[in-house]
Amino acid sequence: MAKKAINNDVLLANIIKGIEEVKGNDIDILDLREIDNAACDYFIICNGNSNTQVNAIVNSVQKTVSKELKDKPWHVEGADNAEWVLMDYVNIVVHVFQKQIREYYNIESLWGDAKITTIQNKY
């Protein structure tokens, strides 16, 4: 039986919930749907203050999405050093950075045509 496609809005909401549960900072959603040749529909970018918090964010997102949607990332990369962890949910790619690494790579600037939505910190 084919795997049921998950609605992007529901997946986005659960990823954001997972980030917020462990106080991930500076959450941006980049809407890439109008950009030619984009690899996915959305990037979610956030940061933590240490490799411990970056790993906590990644684990929280995976746990929340798994519990609520019975889904898991297709691929996770960077968890060993936890400076920049990429979680690929196919239509949505999550980037979890340490703050200084996010500032250095500034991937938001590479997608200047994307519509960016900033989620205000709840704490």
Q: The domain that contains 74 carries what CATH number?
A: 3.30.460.10
DSSP state of 82: -
Q: How many structural domains are present in the chain?
A: 1
In-domain check, residue 61: yes
Range of the domain at 87: 8-110
The pLDDT tens digits for 33-58 are 999 889 999 999 999 999 999 999 99
The pLDDT tens digits for 61-119 are 999 999 999 999 999 999 999 999 999 999 999 999 999 999 999 999 999 899 999 99
Write a three-state SS string for 7-47: CHHHHHHHHHHHHHHCCCEEEEEEECCCCCCCCCCEEEEEE
In-domain check, residue 52: yes
**pLDDT of the residue at 50:** 96
**pLDDT of the residue at 120:** 84
**pLDDT of the residue at 1:** 40
